[in-house]
Structure 1
Amino acid sequence: MSKKALLIIPPERFNEDELFHPKEALENAGIEVTIASTKTGEITGDYEGKATSEVVFSEVSATDYDVVSVIGGSGTNDHLWENQELQAYLKQAHNDKVLVTGICAGAVTVAKTGLLAGREAACYPVDVQINELKANNVEYVVQHVVAHDDIITGDGPDGAKKFGESLVKALR
C-alpha cells in the first residue's frame, strides 16, 4: 500500500520553496501528494509561483493520509493560524496517529493546536513566529527541522529540503 501526504497551503501567498521542495522529496520517494487549502483551484504563492489545490482539507479525512503538513508563507499567518476548523482537523489527525507536520508559519499553526505544548519546535526565525510558539508553551529551537515521533516542524525556505527529507524518513 503506497503512502500518501496531504500538504495544506493557505488560499493565497504560500511559500513556494516550502511547498515544492517537500512535495518533490515525497514524490521522489513514491509517496502520493495531494495539495489542499481552504478552497480549490489555482493559488498564487508569495513569489507568484502557482499551485493547484485539489481539495478543501476539511472535505477529506486525515486518516486517508500518512502525513498532514501545514505549509508556510505570508498567507498562512493571515488565513490558517486562527482557523479553528484546521486546528480541530490537526488535533483529530494526531489522535488518529497521522503524522502532523508544519514548516515556517505552518509550524506555528501546529503549535496553536496545543499538540506541541512543553516540547521543542522550529519555525522561521522572526519574532512574530517565535513569540507565537512561546505563547503556546512551545520551546523555539534554532534548527532546520525538529522531528518528534508524532510531529515534525521546519524553519522555512532554507530548511525546506531537509524538512521534505525528514517527512520521507518518518514515513519509511
Structure 2
Amino acid sequence: MPAISDAKILIIATDGFEQDELFGPRERLLAAGAQVVLASPGGDPIQGMVQDQKGDTITPDILLDAVDIEEYDALVIPGGVANPDTLRTIDAAIEIVRGFDDAGKPIAAICHGPWLLVEADIVEDRTVTSWPSVRTDLENAGAIVVDRSVVVDDNLITSRKPDDVPDFTDALIRLVEEAEVDA
C-alpha cells in the first residue's frame, strides 16, 4: 500500500481558523512525510484561535488563486467560526472545494469547515457531521447529519471538534492511501 509520504495535501484557511484543527492534522501529515501546502486569500500570516482566544499565526505558502487542484491529493478545511465563514464568501475557495469533489479527491472538513461543503453544494444525500451549530445548514442543504467523531462518505471526511482531530487525521490518511491504490 502506498504511504501518505507520497501525498501532497492542500489546507485552505484564513484568519480565525481553530488552531488545533489546522496545526494538528498538518503536524501529523508532515511527520508522516506528506507534503503539506497552506493556501489563503492573502500572503500575510493568518491568525489562529483557541476557541475565542487568539492563538498562533502561520504564513500561507500560496494564494487561493494560485491553487492547481491537479497538483494535490487531498484537501483539508479547518474549522473555527471565522475561517470557513470568510472562505465561503470567496469564489476561489468554493471552486477549490468543487474541483476536489469533481475529481473524487478526499476532502476533509472539521467543525465549522463543512460550511464550505454546503456553499459548494456537494452535501446533498451525503452523510456528514460537524459542530452542532452547522448541522441545520447541512440538513437544509440535503445532507444526512450524524453525531460521530468522524464520518467518511465516499471522498468526504467530516468531524465535529478539536477533540476529533486524531480520528479525523487517521481517516484522511486512510482515504488518501486507498485513493493511491485505486489510481
Q: Which runs of 5+ in 2 are unaligned?
A: 178-183
**Which of the numbers 4, 10, 17 marks the counterpart of 1:6?**
10
Report how many aligned residue pairs link the two structures: 169
Indicate conservation of the 8 Å contact 1:101/1:110, yes or no: no
One-letter amino acid of the structure 2 residue matched with residue 56 of structure 1: L
Secondary structure of 2:113's partner?
A: helix
Tell me the percent identity: 25
Where does residue 100 of structure 1 map in the other structure? 107
- The aligned counterpart of 2:34 is 31
Amino acid at match of 2:6: S
Q: Mark the structure with the bigger radius of gyration.
A: 2
SS at match of 1:114: coil
CA contact (8 A) 2:97 2:116 kept: no
How does the TM-score come out when normalised to structure 1?
Answer: 0.90
Say whether residues 1:170 and 2:175 are aligned partners. yes
2:148 aligns with: 143
1:29–1:168 Cα contact (<8 Å) kept: no
| Preserved contact between residue 64 and residue 92 of structure 2 (Cα < 8 Å) | no
C-alpha distance in structure 1 between counterparts of 2:56 and 2:72, whole Å: 25
The secondary structure found in structure 1 opposite 2:92 is helix
Residues 28-81 of structure 1: per-residue CA shift (max 9 Å, x gap): 221111111111231111132111111112212111010011111122243023
> What is the correspondence of 1:1-172 to structure 2 with a 5 Å cutoff?
2-10=6-14, 12-46=15-49, 47-126=54-133, 129-172=134-177
Moved more, 50-59 or 75-84: 75-84
**Does the Cα contact within 8 Å between 1:62 and 1:68 map onto a contact in 2?**
no
Shift of 1:149: 2.5
Between stretches 28-37 and 68-77, larger displacement belongs to: 68-77
Q: Output the CA distance in 1 between the equivalents of 2:116 and 2:40.
A: 14
Q: CA separation in 2, counterparts of 1:21 and 1:130?
A: 23
- CA deviation profile, 1:95-132 (whole Å, cap 9, x unmatched): 12322221111122113222121111111123xx1111
Unaligned runs of 5+ in 1: none
Aligned-residue CA RMSD in angstroms?
A: 1.6
- Which amino acid counterpart does residue 141 of structure 1 have in structure 2? V
Runs of 4+ residues over 6 Å off in structure 1: none
Amino acid at match of 1:14: F
CA distance in 2 between counterparts of 1:15 and 1:151 reads: 20
